[in-house]
Amino acid sequence: MTLDELLSTYEPRLAAAFREAIETIKSTAVLARVVERLDRGDVNGAVEAMQIEPEAFSALEIALQEAFNAGGTNAVGELPKVMDPQGNRVIWRFGVRNPAAEAILRHLSSTMVTHITDDQRQGIRQALEQGLARGASPRLTALDVVGRQSRVTGRREGGVIGLTRYQIEFIERARLHLASGDAEQMNRYFELKTRDKRFDRTVMAAVRAGKPVTGEALTKIVGRLRDKNLLLRGEMLARTETMMALSSARDETMRQQIEAGKVEARDITKVWRSAGDSRVRHTHRVLNGKSVGMDEVFQSPSGALLRFPGDPRAPISEISGCRCRLEYKVDHIGAVVRRYRAEVV
C-alpha cells in the first residue's frame, strides 16, 4: 500500500473508534446524577459523574496500534532489494515488539488519550459553568452537555461531549449571537461552515422580524452545530493521529535497520514530499523536495523542527491534519563499496 492508501484505510477506523467512545460516554452518563450535583453547585462533581475515563478510548488505542504496525510494515516494503558483499540478499524487517517501537507506541497512545480526556474535562466544566451562569436550570444545563435523546434513534444527539474546549467556545458564541436579537450578530450565523442550512430560513425570518431565535428552534440549531463539529473533530483527530502513527513507525523502521547493521545512518537521506495540492499549509509547501540526513531535522519557515511529517514533538500547528510524507533514499551502492573496501583491507 502507498501512504495515501494507508491513510484512507486507518483514518476511518480511528474516526469510528473515537465516535464509538463518545457514544458510549453519552449513553452511559446518568443524567440524574449530573443534575443532582449541579443542584448542589458541585460542577467538578458533575464533570466526574460523566466518567470521561481513559478506558473509554480503548478501541481508539487499538486502532492507533494497528496503524503503527501497518506503517512499519509499509516502510519495510519500500526499501530496495540489495545484496551484501557476499552476495546474500539483505532482509529488511520491522519488529513491532522491539523495545524502542513499543515505547514509541505507548507514548503516542497515552499522549493521545490524556490529551482527549483532559481537554474534555476542561471543556465540559466550562460548558456547565456557562449554562448555569446564563440562568439555565441544572437539568437543561446537563442536557446541553450530554445531549438529548432522539425519539427516532434512541441515542443522545447534540451535547458537547467529544468537542474540544475551543469548539465549545465557538458554538457558545454562535448561540449568544442567535439569541441576541441583534441583526448584525445573528447574520454571523450564515458565515459558519458547519451550520445546518436547513435552519437558514428560521434564522433569516428572525433577523427580518428583529427578534432573537429562542426555545426549541435555538436548541435544535445549536444541537446540529455541535453534531457537525463533533464529526469534524473526529475526522481531524483521526487524520493527525494516523499520520503520527504511520510516520513514527516508518522512522523507527529505518532505525531498526541501522541498529541491525543492515545500513548506516549516513547512507540514508530523508526527502520531504507534500500532498501537492492547495490544502497543504504554506510552511510544508516550502519544505517540499527538501532533503536531510537520517539524524537531521527539517526546519519549517515557522522555526519549528520536524524529524518527519506528523512528528509528535512538533507544535500542533505544524502537524494537525498534515498529509505530507517522507521518502527514504538508501545509498546501498555506497554502503556496499565501503563494506567491500573494509573487507579487502
Q: What is the pLDDT of residues 168-198, one digit of tens each?
A: 999 999 999 999 999 999 999 999 999 999 9
Beta carbons within 8 Å of 282's beta carbon, 6+ residues apart: 301
Residue 343 pLDDT? 52
Instruction: Give the end of a domain, one of 262, 281, 297.
Output: 262
For residue 34, give its domain range.
3-262
Write the DSSP string, 48-71. HHT---GGGGHHHHHHHHHHHHHH
Residue 345 pLDDT? 47
* Structure confidence by residue, pLDDT tens digits, 146-156: 999 888 888 88
Whether 239 and 200 map to the same domain: the answer is yes
What percentage of the chain exceeds 70 in pLDDT?
96
What's the grid cell of residue 287?
519544505
Beta carbons within 8 Å of 311's beta carbon, 6+ residues apart: 244, 247, 318, 319
The percent helix, strand, coil of the chain (3-state, each to 5) is 65, 5, 30
pTM of the model: 0.89
Residue 173 pLDDT? 95
Residue-averaged pLDDT of the chain: 92
Whether 67 and 90 map to the same domain: the answer is yes
Q: Does the pLDDT of residue 36 top 80, yes or no? A: yes
Q: Does the pLDDT of residue 277 top 80, yes or no? A: yes
Residue 82 pLDDT? 82
Whether 269 and 182 map to the same domain: the answer is no
Whether 238 and 292 map to the same domain: the answer is no
Q: Which amino acid is at 101?
A: A
Q: Does the pLDDT of residue 318 top 80, yes or no? A: yes
Whether 173 and 287 map to the same domain: the answer is no
What is the Cα–Cα distance from 156 to 182, expressed in whole angstroms?
31
Task: Provide the 3-class DSSP secondary structure of residue 42.
Answer: coil
What is the Cα–Cα distance from 120 to 125, expressed in whole angstroms?
8
- Helices and strands counted in the chain (H then E): 13, 7
Whether 198 and 301 map to the same domain: the answer is no
**What is the pLDDT confidence band of residue 344, given thresholds at 50, 70 and 90?**
very low
